Chains A and B, each alone.
Chain A
């Protein structure tokens, strides 16, 4: 009797396991299908468009596998491409410099205000990204108080500007993506056991050594996540360059946008988009590999 019972038991168990094997796929299916149709297929379309050439009439293109579209795109927009990465890099570095002490203060020095301060870090998100950028444009602009004060104090002459400069674009990028940097930094700093820092102090490390040898290494996952979350959108952004820059500060996003929506040069825009995406992916991979973070999501 007992062997028979044991057998049915085993069979039942197997059946349950099999059913369970399918469950994750059922759960994943709707989201995966959505991402395939509206993310992967478009990217495929983008790839295929990137080698097309102009057909008859504006906006009609035929597939000719013209790979020199890429060379053309690069040679015509090299400056903007490099500028995008330069600005994104600068904005990421500035955001890191500004965010780290901020996240550190919230994680370790805020006491019972911690949750409130955390909400305040996210809060700027609740006010439209464009409104804030426009606000900066006006604060720093020709009619704003800042420039008037600087001119009044003769720090700035009438020819000096704050807006329509590379400085303004980088500052705008830094500002806009700052919470993306601060939040992951906070999350990884918060997880650090404060006793580890005390132990380091106990073992004859001064505050700076403790910070360098204990705090920073332990917060690396946050640094990696934060820099990625800042760099990626910054490199593809064109709003800041549009609102805070001048024709000399155009980024690759501005070029792609114009080629798509104004010039209707789909292959050129597609080629540039791919170049941007692939470059970012390569940079991200290299960076993640160096930083040694395994799980990306």
Chain B
């Protein structure tokens, strides 16, 4: 291609990237490196700055300060049409007056590519919609439009593909199918995918690396398993899945495992999962990690006694319990229905336990409910 920057490749690097709209700071001093060839997800509630970040990378928004580069090439102020970056827009933005074929050929024609026809056919084959080439976008279903939007972008073999809530308009079943397909296509073409979403399940299914964004900043970045099992902030703990966060204080941190006192009960917490700055800690445990039995049953691991079931809902694969603890807090427990015993009932006294390795500790000075309202699961 004519322009040097369009042939740029390498890692996407954001340095001190800031965007403010008047008083409102949408993206706040962001530093981020996205390795070449990875499937990267920016996850966060609406208004967290993830879409603004994406638009700055695409060149549709100009940063207030900071730098964006691909490999060694600075593209901070480059025009969108001179960047080796393509976008799959939310609601797809297919050109309504052009056929599917011409939509996909659009970028190739603008770049003056020779074998347009062959590449368009290849792209259509990749998304398995060859038979729709002569249709107009509004004759296609949502899932088909989504795939055409994808084909229109990747046919250009950009260094970077941006996906802005690409599956948001699809129904649940189709979304699941497309998640798998997107992941497969990414592996197939080997392009760096940057995926923006508010749907934690979508991010976890597809991405190698997830960055959780909140109020213009990155809260935590890591692999899906890392984020889920070892969150560092209450926002991440609540936004990715659900968590029980119990106030406690560290009474002994001399060994490899710290001892935490929660309302009189002593439990263990692995030091590499302890992110508290001092003795004040929010002790975290995921609901599905907790075992629950009638009071008096012998248990091992971390044990909590004195709970009474305040609500039980049977949802097929599991039963979800709300357990009221002596200190007034309600804990969530998800119990697999796999052992043939009848579910416990409301009002039953129970004892709970879990393996100490599943415990995580967060700094005690945070809001224990941060991120839980923003979680789409709790809607």
Q: State the A residues within 8 Å of B (CB).
A: 2, 5-6, 9-10, 12-13
Contact = CB atoms under 8 A, between A and B. Distances in A.
Contacts of A12: 77
B67 interface: yes
B62 A5 contact: no
A5 B74 CA distance: 8
A2 B77 contact: no
Interface of B: 62, 67, 74, 76-78
14 contacts: A2-B67, A5-B74, A6-B67, A6-B74, A6-B76, A6-B77, A9-B74, A9-B76, A9-B77, A9-B78, A10-B77, A12-B77, A13-B62, A13-B77
B73 to A, nearest CB: 9
B202 to A, nearest CB: 28
Nearest to A5: B74
Contacts of B67: 2, 6
Nearest to A10: B77
A168 B101 CA distance: 60
B172 to A, nearest CB: 22
A5 to B, nearest CB: 5
A203 to B, nearest CB: 23
Identify whether the interface residues of A are mostly helix, strand, loop, or mixed.
helix
Contacts of A10: 77
Contacts of A6: 67, 74, 76-77
Nearest to B65: A6
B62 A2 contact: no
A2 B74 CA distance: 7
B70 to A, nearest CB: 13
Contacts of B76: 6, 9
Nearest to A12: B77
Contacts of A2: 67, 74
B24 to A, nearest CB: 22
A294 B62 CA distance: 31
A237 to B, nearest CB: 41
Contacts of A5: 74
Nearest to A13: B77
B19 to A, nearest CB: 15
Nearest to A1: B74
Contacts of A13: 62, 77
A10 B62 CA distance: 10
A5 B77 CA distance: 10
A9 B75 CA distance: 9
A13 B76 CA distance: 11
B14 to A, nearest CB: 14
A11 B378 CA distance: 48
B76 to A, nearest CB: 6
A10 B65 CA distance: 11
Nearest to B78: A9
A38 to B, nearest CB: 36
B146 to A, nearest CB: 25
Given A9-B77, A12-B77, 5 more contacts: A2-B74, A6-B67, A6-B76, A6-B77, A13-B77
Contacts of B77: 6, 9-10, 12-13
Contacts of A9: 74, 76-78
Nearest to B62: A13
Nearest to B69: A2
A6 B78 CA distance: 10
A10 B76 CA distance: 10
B34 to A, nearest CB: 19
A12 B62 CA distance: 13
A2 B62 CA distance: 17
A5 B4 CA distance: 14
B355 to A, nearest CB: 50
A13 B74 CA distance: 15
Top 8 closest A-B pairs, CB basis? Answer: A9-B77, A5-B74, A13-B77, A2-B74, A9-B76, A6-B76, A10-B77, A6-B74
A250 B286 CA distance: 86
A5 B78 CA distance: 11
A162 to B, nearest CB: 51
A10 B74 CA distance: 13
Contacts of B78: 9
Nearest to A9: B77
Nearest to B15: A2
A281 B255 CA distance: 85
A10 B67 CA distance: 12
Contacts of B74: 2, 5-6, 9
A2 B76 CA distance: 11
A139 B90 CA distance: 58
A219 B231 CA distance: 51
A146 to B, nearest CB: 49
A5 B67 CA distance: 11
Nearest to B79: A16
A6 B67 CA distance: 8
B322 to A, nearest CB: 32
A100 B200 CA distance: 49
Most interface-central of B67, B76, B77 (chain A CB within 10 A): B77
B48 to A, nearest CB: 27
A6 B69 CA distance: 11
B77 to A, nearest CB: 3
A13 B78 CA distance: 9
A6 B77 CA distance: 8
